[in-house]
Structure 1
Amino acid sequence: MKIKSTPESDGRRTGVQSVEVGLSVLKVVAEANGPMTLANVASATGMPRSQVHKYLTSFIRAGFVWQTRPGEPYSLGPYALELGLAAMRRLEITQVAQETLNELRDELSTTASLAVWGNRGPTIVQWAETPQLISQTVRLGTVFPVLTSTLGLVFAAHLDRRLTEQIIEAELNIPNGAAARFGLRTWDDVERRLEVVRREGFVAADSVVASGVTAIAAPVMNHAGVIVGVIGVAEQLGLLESPKKDITVRALRAGAGRLSARLGAPARSDGAA
């Protein structure tokens, strides 16, 4: 990563070049898979070792870089970790989700939406819209059932049970209700269904909210591994039996994974959210 001076002709504000150069050194240490030697850092930045050493010494004093003793490799220090966690705690999913929703809409030519958990259940708060039936049936602020919507099942599979128990119990207690028609009549039925959701990492089902629509949903996690939202896409009925299903599922899970990564979630071994 060769460091170059930045002219002001690009319209950016005047900055302190030495700070920018120093941060490029810190970025190399932060992005490494493990501790880095001085030679490694110098090679990655394209800077002389003596110059890199001065920056690293200052970062050690400030707590951004850690070195067990002189001559040993460098790794992130305690304040760098604290700063990263503070940034992730302040980052709200709605601040960064729109780009992912737009990408899914454009890639799949279908409506993509984001739901968060509200006091009455999964609630649509953001979306990238296309002129489809789902757009005419479901609006921002729509609250979905838990047991009979893909959004709700994903939340139920990952949220603390104390947040979902009353709503699930109420849906189970409706005689011949939608949950029963879905084959969910007891808590044992629910637990088996949610275990499948956790194992597969997504839910796909024909919608009971919007007639003629198949919905697919996947979770978005934060840095603590806690679900903070669910991304869903809607297709015309029949998707579950079409070759496009696998393409849609892969795209959705990849999008949810990218959004989770932006919120600091650790990557899963399968690369999904």
Structure 2
Amino acid sequence: MSETDIKEPREGSDLLFNQSLEKGLAVLRAFSAQRRTMTLAEVAEATSITKSSAQRMIYTLEALGYVRKHSQTRRYQLTPKVMEVGYNYLAADILVDVANPFLSELANITGETVNLTEPYDQEMVYVARFVSSKFIPIHMPIGSRIPMYCTASGRSYLSALPPDEARAQLQATELIVRTQHTRTDINEILQVLETIREKGYACNVEELFLGDMTIASPILNNQGMPVAAVHVVAPTSRWTQEEAEKRLGPLVLECGRAISNSIRTLT
């Protein structure tokens, strides 16, 4: 989670909006790989709330079992109970259940790591993952988020949107140069989306992480709108782009279509 993910509590006249709940969730979201443990003062600073509010939120979250204080350092950290919320989402997500057999088959056929991602704002969130025994340059556990604009899964999703909606999503995104290969020009990305529409799958080479290449295809609902994307990891240490597109592209495309057809029968 980046610094910009922590938002100040809302202000306004919405009588139904519960600011205390918002602050409590902001405290939970403030913990990350960069903030594994925090003092009360650090919690207040990270969430832009007062120290007294942070104390009330931490006390309540600790009483409920979502946060604990280290007995020696006196610093707070999350507990595994926090994972209940994410697990409940995955357990209730019918798409994951439907997709898993197809993802497993794709992983077995390709011998590479296969992932399912779903959109949230201008990012794709990992919701299912079948990990190969082979080396992969980047570990992306369930719940990880990647930007749409510079990833195969994100671009495959964008390519299935109406062009005006895809442009709007890109315009709402902070286009950051992640590597020397990252495309950040909106018109250039839109041209890439046109190519993806023609092929049915996206190929991304080292635009987010060096050494990382992925092939992705969108998953469509019964209205023909994208709801997710499936992608296979093809590290540049094992694959050239030409080989990956020739051998993996049709398989990923077939997997995406199979999942799409399956969820259409359920909705």
Superposition pairs of residues 78-157 of structure 1, within 5 angstroms: 92-134=94-136, 137-157=139-159
Give 1:171's aligned amino acid.
Answer: E
The answer to whether structure 1 residue 171 and structure 2 residue 170 are counterparts is no
Tell me how far apart the structure 2 counterparts of residues 157 and 180 of structure 1 sit (CA, whole Å).
23
Tell me how far apart the structure 1 counterparts of residues 242 and 159 of structure 2 sit (CA, whole Å).
26
Tell me how far apart the structure 1 counterparts of residues 93 and 140 of structure 2 sit (CA, whole Å).
27
Q: Identity over the aligned pairs, expressed in percent?
A: 17
Structure 2 equivalent of residue 251 of structure 1: 251
- TM-score, normalisation: structure 1: 0.55
Deviation at 1:193, TM superposition (A): 1.7
User: In 2, are the aligned partners of 1:158 and 1:227 still within 8 Å (CA)?
Assistant: yes
Deviation at 1:120, TM superposition (A): 4.8
Secondary structure class of the residue paired with 1:191 = helix
**Rg larger in 1 or in 2?**
1
Secondary structure class of the residue paired with 2:231 = strand
Tell me how far apart the structure 1 counterparts of residues 212 and 198 of structure 2 sit (CA, whole Å).
24
Pick closer, same or farther for the CA change 1:119–1:184 going to 2, 3 Å: closer
Tell me how far apart the structure 2 counterparts of residues 115 and 143 of structure 1 sit (CA, whole Å).
9
- TM-score, normalisation: structure 2: 0.56
Give 1:255's aligned amino acid.
Answer: C
Pick closer, same or farther for the CA change 1:147–1:179 going to 2, 3 Å: farther
Tell me how far apart the structure 2 counterparts of residues 261 and 251 of structure 1 sit (CA, whole Å).
15
Tell me how far apart the structure 2 counterparts of residues 167 and 127 of structure 1 sit (CA, whole Å).
26
Deviation at 1:214, TM superposition (A): 1.5
User: In 1, are the aligned partners of 2:179 and 2:208 still within 8 Å (CA)?
Assistant: no
Write 1 or 2 for the structure with the bigger share of helix.
1
Secondary structure class of the residue paired with 2:230 = strand
Pick closer, same or farther for the CA change 1:189–1:152 going to 2, 3 Å: same
Aligned residues: 172
The answer to whether structure 1 residue 239 and structure 2 residue 234 are counterparts is no
Give 1:153's aligned amino acid.
Answer: R
Pick closer, same or farther for the CA change 1:206–1:163 going to 2, 3 Å: closer
Give 1:262's aligned amino acid.
Answer: S
Give CA-to-partner distance per residue, 1:49-101, whole Å, 9 cap, x none: xxxxxxxxxxxxxxxxxxxxxxxxxxxxxxxxxxxxxxxxx993212000011
Q: Which runs of 5+ in 1 are unaligned?
A: 1-89, 266-273
Q: Which runs of 5+ in 2 are unaligned?
A: 1-91
Secondary structure class of the residue paired with 1:126 = strand
Alpha-carbon RMSD: 2.8
Secondary structure class of the residue paired with 2:240 = helix
Secondary structure class of the residue paired with 2:194 = helix
Pick closer, same or farther for the CA change 1:164–1:122 going to 2, 3 Å: farther
Superposition pairs of residues 1-273 of structure 1, within 5 angstroms: 92-134=94-136, 137-159=139-161, 162=165, 165=168, 168-172=171-175, 174=176, 177-178=177-178, 181-185=181-185, 187-237=186-236, 239-241=239-241, 243=243, 245-264=245-264
Deviation at 1:131, TM superposition (A): 2.8
